[in-house]
Amino acid sequence: MPVQVPVGGEEAAIEVASVGEQRTFDFDIRDHLQLGHDLDCIDFDTAADVSGSKFVYLKRAAALLELALVNYAMQKVVSKGFIPMMTPDLVRESVLEKCGFQPRGTETQVYSVQDSPLCLTGTAEVPLGAMYMDKILAEEQLPIKMAGFGHCFRTEAGAGGSASRGLYRVHQFSKVEMFVVCTPEQSEALLEDLANLEKEMFTELGLHFKILDMPSGDLGAPAYRKYDIEAWMPGAQRYGEISSASNCTDYQSRRLNIRYRPKATDAADAAPNNDSKQKAKKVPTEFVHTLNATACAVPRMIVAILENFQQADGSVIIPEGLRPYMGNMSVITAP
């Protein structure tokens, strides 16, 4: 993958990999909303009465599919050395700000609790990063790799249009998020590892997708470098983002005050004319680097699976990798 970050807006993104091919259909394609209605597994209408627009009930096979996706993703990342975590859904406003999010303002994506310093998180990245706030770690502890399951809440202020229909953009959803704390020397290689792990998972699930090296104008405040993964969504006849991986270098660690102390042997080698033990005591701390990546954003994965694996009779084939987590169910049919 290229090292230089592309300069420009979203149109300057560089495609660094493409996996699989667009499926050819010999019948009229249904989008996930039609499939969800016909299979009686996605209900926006009732959720709108209960909670408002952009909320959803997942029922029957869709509910099982969410649980299967979460379990598949968590088992996969744990097998790669990530520590499984269940994270708080409410965090302090100050923590959100330190992670690079804006909890206030007309365009905020954050839900705040009235008369409280707490906010609902939009990603498990926030509570995972804050675990090590105001701590000094030993270099030997790094990298620390965590995978958090959390519920995500987003106002989606300013979002609209056909590209945001249905499950693609909702106010509440589940996600498995990877988060890494490491030394500055480790972060570039770890970004590649995260992107490759995402690639491995989505390939196993049989999706057609592309990996984009995102340009400077499309990076959020914390990110120094970011890869987006966009899957083909036949119902919309376009690619849609299902995952990303970002290297935030020391943006978050400086605000969260997460440091590490280099190994004493490294300091002694750097100054051989000084007493090594005395020098080891004076080794200054440095800020860690942090990275985050999405293992599974459930709603968009459901969109991609329903639309890509639909059949002429309206049923949907379940990817083989998910079947063990769905009681070995192989196909979703109408009840």
244 is catalytic: yes
> How confident is the model at residue 162, as a pLDDT?
60
pLDDT at 57 over 60: yes
Query: What does the angle CA 292 – CA 297 – CA 302 come to, to the nearest 5 degrees?
Result: 160
261 is catalytic: no
pLDDT digits (tens, 9 = 90+) for 190-217: 999 999 999 999 999 999 999 999 999 8
51 is catalytic: no
Rounded CA separation 275/223 (Å): 40
pLDDT digits (tens, 9 = 90+) for 218-251: 887 889 999 999 999 999 999 999 999 999 999 9
> How confident is the model at residue 208, as a pLDDT?
98
> How confident is the model at residue 1, as a pLDDT?
42
Rounded CA separation 209/211 (Å): 7
User: Residues 174, 187, 243, 244: which is the catalytic one?
Assistant: 244
Q: What percent of the chain has pLDDT over 70?
A: 91
Average pLDDT, the chain: 92
pLDDT at 271 over 60: no
315 is catalytic: no
User: Residues 30, 66, 125, 154: which is the catalytic one?
Assistant: 154
pLDDT at 41 over 90: yes
User: Residues 241, 261, 286, 315: which is the catalytic one?
Assistant: 241
238 is catalytic: no
Rounded CA separation 17/1 (Å): 9
pLDDT at 129 over 70: yes
Q: Average pLDDT in the 21-28 region?
A: 97
